[in-house]
Amino acid sequence: MDSDIPITSEFDSVDPAPPSEDRNVENLRITLNDSKKKMFQRMRALFALRGIGGTDSVEALAAAFESKSALLKHEVAYVMGQMQNPHAVPFLIERLEDVHEDLMVRHEAAEALGAIGDRSALSVLEKFVNDPEPVISESCEVALDLLQWVASNRLNLSD
Ligand SMILES: [Fe+2]
């Protein structure tokens, strides 16, 4: 394949790895969570799970929040935001609330909560919008604005 062709997907993003061709959620969960596997293979599993979607895929992805890799956890939060499945909300809230978590992961969890647009995330985003870490406070601010924007657009649509 021509290396100049970016890897695009139905999510309109250019991803760091093409999705694995395996469509078995359990296999993909195992690969994603295997710290002995190369990060490229783990990311291929991650993007395959994003493509398959559904509750089981969200749970397989959430299991990777146990990983030691901040990069991988950040990517998990990112795809959860793209999937827009409210089943991911409690897992993302847990990452945002964990003050010992890597800032990159907490930032992406906040933005994903905004992208999912479930109002059950409102109070946690309001709690951290004044966080002393600018990357956290700014991410929460963006997420809150997005939630508000989505809500007002829904109102306009129902007029
Ligand atoms: Fe990010």
Residues 106-128: what's their mean pLDDT? 96
Residue 53 Cα to ligand 1 middle (Å): 21
pTM of the model: 0.91
**Would 118 be classed as within a structural domain?**
yes
> Which residue matches tokens 């990517």?
75
Residue 14 Cα to ligand 1 middle (Å): 14
Residue 113 Cα to ligand 1 middle (Å): 13
**Would 30 be classed as within a structural domain?**
yes
Sequence-distant (≥ 6) Cβ neighbours of residue 33 within 8 angstroms: 42, 63, 64, 66, 67
| Identity of the residue numbered 20 | S
d(CA 17, CA 6): 10
Residues 126-154: what's their mean pLDDT? 94
Residue 56 Cα to ligand 1 middle (Å): 24
Residue 37 Cα to ligand 1 middle (Å): 23
Q: Is there a contact between 103 and 136 (Cβ–Cβ < 8 Å)?
A: yes
Residue 45 Cα to ligand 1 middle (Å): 19
**Residue 7: band (very low, low, confident or very high) from pLDDT cuts 50, 70, 90:** low
Residue 128 Cα to ligand 1 middle (Å): 17
**Would 6 be classed as within a structural domain?**
no
| 17 token code pair | 């790895």
Q: What is the pLDDT of residues 26-66, one digit of tens each?
A: 999 999 999 999 999 999 999 999 999 999 999 999 999 99
Instruction: Tally the domains of the chain.
Output: 1
Residue 8 pLDDT exceeds 80: no
Residues 150-158: what's their mean pLDDT? 77
List the CATH number of the domain containing 31: 1.25.10.10
**Would 68 be classed as within a structural domain?**
yes
**Would 2 be classed as within a structural domain?**
no
Domain interval for residue 34:
25-158
Helix (H) / strand (E) element for 23: namely none
Residues 69-98: what's their mean pLDDT? 98
Long-range contacts of 20-29 (CB under 8 A, 24+ apart): 20/44, 20/45, 20/47, 20/48, 21/48, 22/48, 23/48, 23/52, 25/49, 25/52, 25/56, 25/57, 25/60, 26/60, 28/52, 28/57, 28/60, 29/59, 29/60, 29/63
Residues 82-89: what's their mean pLDDT? 97
Residue 81 Cα to ligand 1 middle (Å): 11
pLDDT of residue 156: 75
Residue 157 Cα to ligand 1 middle (Å): 30
Residues 77-99: what's their mean pLDDT? 97
**Would 4 be classed as within a structural domain?**
no
